[in-house]
Structure 1
């Protein structure tokens, strides 16, 4: 697994977060570097948090599945104390230490990572899915369950049919898509992370949907796993 360090995460000032985002933003690559048909393995990434003795803790789950059979190939996780405070727009700085630690444990090298969170659909185009790609060195996709309203722009609800979507335009630029993965179910909010284009992100996401959830399979599995892990550590971590 290609994981490398770019900067430390002991920053507490908002201007430091912002400077890092601006420095990395110019390196975002939204070209089609990978073809959806060439995908063999996909990873889902999610985190969960809790407090213990007044201190914040988190757990990150990464679950890798076979893109064809949808069977789980590998799952890893990391757990630890959270050292970076929550600041709106800078969630990646809070989550990346655990994501990187979990990714280092992977024996499989996923072709693409899907995150429970935003990517390019972000105030500075630097949601966790985009930011994490600089460490993972792989294409990433953002899958958000709720809409992040940017500059007062709302999204247009897609038609109520599987695969329907509307592009999210902000100041004339496409930030992502409101995507209906299942009928009669709320849309998800899809955006590129990095090293991938929006159409490929859409195709990959839709190929990973089943009848159990509006979320792509690896993201849903990672979400479920974080809840199990959080309960375990809440009971057993001293």
Structure 2
């Protein structure tokens, strides 16, 4: 069986275990981790670095930063990016001294062809609620999104075949929206609340994934 077929079988086994309901109280969230990955090539070899930035939910102060760098063995296959990223994510998580209550990924969760973007897929290995925060829109079944109103906090649901997969969220006025989806063990409304909580005036992105994104750029420069 080819890799793609094996990947599909694994994802389809996880799909019934996805829960789009909170398994926590928002008041109990203490630490939130932002996760991002950057790639580069050297000759025929591909490499990647995963950076995780842990932030206190109340103070919004950085508590911890870790990274893990390594060679990538899984080829890029559209729709199965999680398998390429997960080995780096799991190794980076092992380096954490703190214990995040929730993880936010620079990427999609439920807003995915099989509802199994990196945020959702990774949740089964992290055993924590997750949120997908994407900078660009992943079109599924030729479904476009409706642009939210030009005001902070405005959003529109992204529906595929009548089912809500995520939301286009306006985090800053006069700035293009970002795309939020549940990862696992969280509902979409709470995902939006948490995302907006971490958005500051200098970016449309929440500081969780923004700081992780910035860290991957620095790490890529260092290693490549």
What range is the shorter-chain TM-score in? over 0.9
Aligned partner (choices 21, 27, 35) of residue 37 of structure 1: 27
- Which residue is 1:149 aligned to? 139
Structure 2 gap segments, 5+ residues each:
none
Instruction: Write the deviation string for residues 180-212 of structure 1: whole angstroms up to 9, x where unpaired.
Output: 011111100000001111111111111111011
What is the CA–CA distance in structure 2 between the aligned matches of 1:172 and 1:92, rounded to whole Å?
Answer: 26
**2:98 matches 1:111:** no
What is the CA–CA distance in structure 1 between the aligned matches of 2:119 and 2:82, rounded to whole Å?
Answer: 8
If the length of structure 2 is used for normalisation, what is the TM-score?
Answer: 0.98
What is the CA–CA distance in structure 1 between the aligned matches of 2:164 and 2:139, rounded to whole Å?
Answer: 14
Q: Any conservation in 2 of the 1:43–1:112 contact (CA below 8 Å)?
A: yes
What is the CA–CA distance in structure 1 between the aligned matches of 2:26 and 2:43, rounded to whole Å?
Answer: 46
- Which residue is 1:228 aligned to? 218
What is the CA–CA distance in structure 1 between the aligned matches of 2:190 and 2:27, rounded to whole Å?
Answer: 10
**What is the 5 A alignment of 1:101-180?**
101-180=91-170
Instruction: Write the deviation string for residues 88-126 of structure 1: whole angstroms up to 9, x where unpaired.
Output: 000000000000000011111111100000000000000
What is the CA–CA distance in structure 2 between the aligned matches of 1:35 and 1:186, rounded to whole Å?
Answer: 30
- Which residue is 1:184 aligned to? 174
- Which residue is 1:28 aligned to? 18
**2:75 matches 1:85:** yes
Aligned partner (choices 20, 37, 62) of residue 72 of structure 1: 62
If the length of structure 1 is used for normalisation, what is the TM-score?
Answer: 0.92
Instruction: Write the deviation string for residues 147-194 of structure 1: whole angstroms up to 9, x where unpaired.
Output: 000011100000000000000011010000000011111100000001
Deviation at 1:218, TM superposition (A): 1.1
- Which residue is 1:7 aligned to? none
**2:36 matches 1:46:** yes
- Which residue is 1:100 aligned to? 90
Q: Any conservation in 2 of the 1:145–1:188 contact (CA below 8 Å)?
A: yes
What is the CA–CA distance in structure 2 between the aligned matches of 1:197 and 1:141, rounded to whole Å?
Answer: 9
Partner secondary structure for residue 87 of structure 2: helix
Partner secondary structure for residue 154 of structure 1: coil
Q: Any conservation in 2 of the 1:12–1:84 contact (CA below 8 Å)?
A: no
Instruction: Write the deviation string for residues 205-227 of structure 1: whole angstroms up to 9, x where unpaired.
Output: 11111011111111000000000
What is the CA–CA distance in structure 1 between the aligned matches of 2:176 and 2:83, rounded to whole Å?
Answer: 29
Deviation at 1:12, TM superposition (A): 5.3
Deviation at 1:70, TM superposition (A): 0.9
